[in-house]
Copies of this chain bind each other. A is one copy, B any other.
Amino acid sequence: MTTAHDEGKEAVRALLETVRAEGRSALTAPEGKTVADAYGIAVPGEALARDVDEAVLYADRLGGKVVLKIVSPDILHKTDAGGVIVGVQGAAEVRAAFCTIVESAKAYAPDARIHGVQVQQLLPPGQEVIVGAVTDPTFGKVVAFGLGGVLVEVLKDVTFRLAPVTADEATSMLDSIRAAEILRGVRGAPAVDRWALAEQIRRVSQLVSDFPEIAEVDLNPVIATPDGAVAADIRVILADEQPVERRKYSREEILTSMRRLMKPQSVSVIGASNEQGKIGNSVMRNLIDGGFSGEIHPVNPKADDIQGRKAYKSVMDVPGEPDVAIFAIPAKFVASALEEVGRKGIPNAVLIPSGFAETGEHALQAEIVEIAERHGIRLLGPNIYGYYSTWQDLCATFCTPYDVKGGVALTSQSGGIGMAILGFARTTKTGVSAIVGLGNKSDLDEDDLLTWFGEDPNTDCIAMHLEDLKDGRAFVEAARATVPKKPVVVLKAGRTAAGAKAAGSHTGALAGDDAVYDDILRQSGVIRAPGLNEMLEYARALPVLPTPTGDNVVIITGAGGSGVLLSDAIVDNGLRLMEIPDDLDAAFKAFIPPFGAAGNPIDITGGEPPSTYEATIRLGLEDPRIHALVLGYWHTIVTPPMVFAELTARVVEEFRARGIEKPVVASLAGDVEVEEACQYLFERGVVAYPYTTEKPVAALGAKYRWARAAGLLGGGR
């Protein structure tokens, strides 16, 4: 069965072949019209009049006012040539305009070939918008939407999606611009036809998805009215060359090799050393000290024994079937050792050494990738600090082992950031399932890790630092598969032009346009952390917090001043303060002094005993209309910090035992004892911070963003 879409596709395919055959990359206006018609993209009615009588005929058929434009392959700037007349109506006017245009064009360019005059319907006034599609270096075909004119050009009020989009996604774009209200009609103006506008977006996105060779499509402007959306102009540009397809692994292949990497039975350390200060020494010591229960086989041609274990001259001599070869040798020796790893049939190589693409040694990196592909070895790195799989007690890094197993997997493209992850996790006692360095990402990258951690039962949350994505679409696919199961936090470095430039000098990666990254990461459901510290704090807090089941957030505070700042933070983080129903208000009021303020925040006032905190927190957990609690504690003699912490943890635990789990976060204002109280609370499932009203609410906001993206709150992605 041939559908209209198939027919349209065939028509465009034939047209593009002609254009290519002529060696052109830009389509003419009539060709653009053909493409638009083939995809049902609404454009003004038009026809090419070869003589004045045809012009009169076509103008009459189109009805109303028309625009006449010269059509000549030799005249690019039609207006300069006097080749455009707007608002012509009736036979006499059309005749006169036709002649004027042709004469003007001839006078402007006497040798120009003139194909005729285009007679085009004049569009009614309406809201000008722009619909376009571009080829992003990271994400491929991307569709864009914005209001026309200054809003796009000066205020950059544009939104992006991966092409193709569904009708729903296209509609969501209308709401994603800052000036979205305008489309709904402001100052008495009528709303535009949203369906028609969304269709223009959807059809453009389908066109570029069907034809990868189309580099760019621009409908600028589209005139949107209450009765439709018509593109006044369509511009189509073809690409010079097609991007090289990256080698793909199936989901099963990824999971198989990742399982052996993250849960190995046997590892071999190539370049293991007895010499203090060498990386091969640190890695061996950390593997042993970390308590890895599998086999550890050092490889060193110059030693018989490394740190009490038999050393082998070559990885070929290692007994059994190692799952991982960890490289701690200089870059120049990697290739030959990797050949041996391949011959030995080891599926994973962890390449700690630097001295590859990041120092300009691109050929060396290409060589090891070639060897790995030939043998089917997956590479982690090179240029990394190693990796740490805590539940296996596998500390294959040059940093000392870490003693708290937990739910968050952290990855970083940069070694420095990896060290910050380690230090932060250690000092805050963050529960970690894995820490992985990605470095140059010569092979394994974020989408492989997401695929694994998405399945890993020890991992409840994934946090990733990245400077670029090798394949944005593969990442989005992995993220969309993972997010419904667990939150994914992303710190995208190189957000700003200066940052992107710095990333360029660092990894040689082309940092994509941040606006595209931002929209598409959001669409994929990941939580974007604005900075390093936020990424670390979200990683620490998200696995601790239960998932909210609704939008009603209530603040209970002993300090009115904290209540105000917490309310600001609620708004900043896109959360909603619950409108407290009268009966609930009365119930809270029963516990607080007459001059305290119920409502929301519930201000229990500062001089209250522990029982007031306890009674109000109990009520907040008990009432099913409340979905999350934000506590503001004020240090007083009557209720010291640890008393507050203990009662809060006890009540939360009691409700949890009854099956009532709500996220509870707390801001503690007080003297230094509040720090201990916060640590106590955090370890018991209450996300608590001292000296800040912002951080606890930001953590709650991140959890809500995830719950929404995962479809657990009713809201869409």
Determine the residue in chain B with the shortest Cβ distance to A566.
B502
Query: Residue A76 at the B interface, CB < 8 A?
Result: no
Decide if A9 is an interface residue (CB 8 Å cutoff): no
Contact with B along A341-374 (1 / 0, CB 8 A): 0000000000000110011100000000000000
Q: What are the interface flags for A502-537 relative to B under an 8 Å C-beta threshold, 1 for contact and 0 otherwise?
A: 110111000000000000000000000011110010
A572 CA / B691 CA spacing, docked (Å): 23
Of chain B, the residue at the smallest CB distance from A505 is B597
A540 to chain B, nearest CB (A): 11
Does residue A481 face the partner (Cβ distance < 8 Å to B)?
A: no
- Please determine whether B670 and A420 come into contact, CB atoms closer than 8 angstroms: yes
CA gap between A399 and B420 in the complex, in Å: 35
How many residues in A have their beta carbons less than 8 Å from beta carbons of B? 100
Contacts of A563 in B (CB 8 A): 502, 505-506
In the assembled complex, the Cα of A579 lies from the Cα of B179 at a distance in Å of 36
Q: How many copies does the complex hold?
A: 2
> Across the interface, which residues of B come within 8 angstroms of A670, CB to CB?
419-420, 422-423
- Asked if A378 CB lies within 8 Å of chain B CBs, one says no
Q: Which of A665-703 touch B at CB < 8 Å?
A: 669-675, 690-695
Given contacts A532-B693, A691-B536, contact A562 B672 (CB under 8 A): no
A203 part of interface (Cβ distance < 8 Å) = no
On chain B, the residues within 8 Å of A594 by CB distance are 359
Complex: chain B residue closest to A607, CB-CB: B354
Q: Are the C-beta atoms of A691 and B424 separated by less than 8 Å? A: yes
Query: What's the Cα separation between A506 and B419 when bound, in Å?
Result: 44
Find the B residue at minimum CB distance from A426.
B672
**Residues of chain B within 8 A of A567, CB atoms compared:** 494, 496, 498-499, 501-502
B562 touches A414 (CB 8 A): yes
Q: 1/0 contact trace for A147-169 toward B, CB 8 Å?
A: 00111011100000000000000
Q: Tell me the chain A residues, 277-312 only, with Cβ under 8 Å from chain B.
A: 277, 282
A112 at the interface (CB under 8 A from B): no
Contact present for B561 and A414 (CB under 8 Å) = yes
Q: What are 24 A-B contacts with C-beta separation under 8 Å?
A: A153-B187, A154-B182, A155-B179, A354-B606, A355-B595, A413-B561, A415-B561, A416-B558, A416-B669, A417-B562, A419-B671, A420-B670, A420-B691, A423-B671, A423-B675, A467-B564, A498-B571, A498-B577, A502-B563, A502-B564, A507-B560, A531-B565, A533-B694, A533-B695
Interface residues of A (CB under 8 A from B): 149-151, 153-155, 178-179, 181-182, 186-187, 277, 282, 354-355, 358-360, 398-400, 412-417, 419-420, 422-424, 426-427, 465, 467, 491, 493-499, 501-503, 505-507, 530-533, 536, 555, 557-572, 577, 593-595, 597, 599, 601, 603, 606-607, 632, 634-635, 637, 669-675, 690-695
